Amino acid sequence: MMFSKSCEYAIKAAIYIFMVTKDGSRIGLKKIAAEIDSPESFIAKILQTLVRQGIILSMKGPGGGFYIDPGAKSIPVIKIIEAMDGKHAFDRCGLGLKVCSDSRPCPIHNEFKGYSQRLKNLLMTKSVQELAESITSGRAYLSD
């Protein structure tokens, strides 16, 4: 897979949080972890990163929890990927080699480079809100 496990959980968490907080409510860590099938301590660190990056919001205390501002602009999925895996997530070698480039390609470099660029373009245009709406409408699923 192209993304780290942290990144996969971050995308699922952001989608889930948007789905359940678009009415202005907030959701707790335990519920998020259970719904996306993630260990609580693992998802807690991921959510901290997403809060620091301004992708999701959190509020402490009674009635607190995580949420996405319903009035916020669309959040492109690529913003989550860059927050979790870095800005060069799409520049990595398809076989995991440390050195892979046009001048020194791995066996799948040319094909993988095209695939990677198309995926990056897709994730620049897809928003967390769009993905959440596809689940809410029943066109897609977030769990097995």
CA 43/CA 22 separation, integer angstroms: 20
* The length of the chain, given as a count of residues: 144
CA 103/CA 140 separation, integer angstroms: 40
Chain segment 2-40, per-residue pLDDT in tens: 789 999 999 999 999 999 998 889 999 999 999 999 999
Chain segment 53-79, per-residue pLDDT in tens: 999 999 998 888 999 887 777 899 999
- At residue 111, the pLDDT reads 93
Chain segment 90-137, per-residue pLDDT in tens: 888 889 898 999 999 999 999 999 999 999 999 999 999 999 999 999
∠ CA 66-68-71, nearest 5°, is 145
Neighbours of 84 (CB within 10 A): 22
Element (H, E) at 10: helix 5-21
Element (H, E) at 7: helix 5-21
**Contacts (Cβ under 8 Å, ≥6 apart) of 45:** 6
Q: 5-136 architecture in CATH?
A: Orthogonal Bundle (1.10)
- At residue 16, the pLDDT reads 95
User: Domain residue spans in the chain?
Assistant: 5-136
- At residue 9, the pLDDT reads 96
- At residue 124, the pLDDT reads 95
Mean pLDDT across the chain: 92
- At residue 96, the pLDDT reads 87
CA 21/CA 38 separation, integer angstroms: 19
**Contacts (Cβ under 8 Å, ≥6 apart) of 77:** 11, 123, 126, 127, 128, 131
